[in-house]
Amino acid sequence: MRTVPTRRSPTSTAASAAAKAALAHAEPTPFWLDQDGRPEPRPSLSSDATADLVIVGGGFTGLWAAIQAKEDDPSRDVVLLESGRVADGASGRNGGFVSASLTHGLANGVRHFPDEVHRLHQLGLDNHAGLLASLDRYGIDAQVERTGELTFATAPWQVAELAMGLSLHLRFGERAELLDAESARQAVHSPTYHGALWAHDGVALVDPARLAWGLLAAAASLGVRVQSPLFPPLLLTSRTLPISTPRSAPLTMSYTVRAATDAAVIASISTPV
């Protein structure tokens, strides 16, 4: 095999220099997390702590689960372990769309889960309403805007699809309307759209960092102990976690609990050790 020497052309060198210059002042911190109020890392848990419920991961899943666990039983001793800073994971890096849909849209749900779609739809709405109610209950200012969702037609033939989407939303009892080309263009000032479907229910915009940080404050106010694990995160080697024990039995924490790196796994109640 012969190695072919590579040489950068003057054009690519200039392009690379231009790219470096363009990024020279870029901040590596995610947009939402780059604002005042970001909580510091939590203190470490001592190795022999005890708890009734251990939750691994300080993102939306873990934080809201911790709040609900305390609401369900205020005497329950809840520990939430976060190895970095709260909302450092996906919860602090997303688009800020809070959608009720568990199926990525009604049409998708009908296509893939025809028998369960009504149940899934209702669960999603309940979940959405529950989250927004929690924000109200704890006075969390996550900059919520109940916008609904606009779906645009970028080609004339898509307008008919929007009409089908409208009848689907109405069939599921949701408020929705069609916008003609002019109204769609007024909404977003784009000359390229041929129409839109505006579904009014089940979608809101939030500042996700403020949402997570507010949930953290709410959890702490209920007595949830939010701490960092003593050791660096363990990788999940199996989707099966060692969770088995009567709910009433106290748990002695050991670091045999394994957590996912990409999603908060509620490692809930483990066998006493």
Ligand X SMILES: Cc1cc2nc3c(=O)[nH]c(=O)nc-3n(C[C@H](O)[C@H](O)[C@H](O)COP(=O)(O)OP(=O)(O)OC[C@H]3O[C@@H](n4cnc5c(N)ncnc54)[C@H](O)[C@@H]3O)c2cc1C
- Which of 5, 10, 74, 95 lies at the binding interface for ligand X (CB under 6 A)? 95
Give Rg (Cα) of the chain: 24
Q: With contacts defined by CB under 6 A, name the span among 94-102, 107-115, 157-165, 191-199 that binds ligand X.
A: 94-102
- Interacting residues of 40 by C-beta distance below 8 A, sequence separation 6+: 85
C-alpha closest to that of 202 among 152, 116, 132, 110: 132
**Closer CB to ligand X, 148 or 233, in the complex:** 233
- Nearest approach in angstroms of CB 206 to ligand X is 9
Told to check if 5 binds ligand X by CB under 6 A, we report no
CB 224 within 8 A of CB 51: no
DSSP 65-126: HHHHHHHH-TT--EEEE-SS-TT-SGGGSS--EEE--SSSSHHHHHHH-TTTHHHHHHHHHH
- Nearest approach in angstroms of CB 61 to ligand X is 3
**Spatial distance between the Cα atoms of 116 and 263, rounded to a whole number of angstroms:** 25
**Closer CB to ligand X, 131 or 159, in the complex:** 131
**Touching ligand X, residues 29-88 (CB under 6 A):** 56-62, 81-84, 88
- Nearest approach in angstroms of CB 194 to ligand X is 25
- Which of 13, 97, 173, 230 lies at the binding interface for ligand X (CB under 6 A)? 97
**Spatial distance between the Cα atoms of 24 and 46, rounded to a whole number of angstroms:** 41
C-alpha closest to that of 143 among 74, 193, 96, 176: 96
Told to check if 120 binds ligand X by CB under 6 A, we report no
- Helix, strand, coil percentages in the chain from 3-state DSSP, rounded to 5: 35, 15, 50
**Touching ligand X, residues 196-235 (CB under 6 A):** 229, 233-234
Binding residue count for ligand X, defined by CB under 6 A: 29
- Cα 58 to Cα 68, 90, 259: the distances in Å are 14, 10, 12
- Nearest approach in angstroms of CB 50 to ligand X is 18
Told to check if 94 binds ligand X by CB under 6 A, we report yes
Q: With contacts defined by CB under 6 A, name the span among 7-15, 147-155, 243-251, 258-266 that binds ligand X.
A: 258-266
Binding mask of the shown chain, residues 234 to 253, with x at each position contacting ligand X by CB under 6 A: x-------------------
Query: What are the residue ranges of helices labelled H in the chain?
Result: 10-23, 60-72, 106-112, 117-137, 158-171, 181-188, 208-221
CB 255 within 8 A of CB 234: yes
- Which of 67, 96, 152, 162 lies at the binding interface for ligand X (CB under 6 A)? 96
**Closer CB to ligand X, 166 or 251, in the complex:** 251
- Which of 131, 251, 259, 269 lies at the binding interface for ligand X (CB under 6 A)? 259
Residues binding ligand X (CB under 6 A): 56-62, 81-84, 88-91, 93-99, 229, 233-234, 259, 261, 263-264
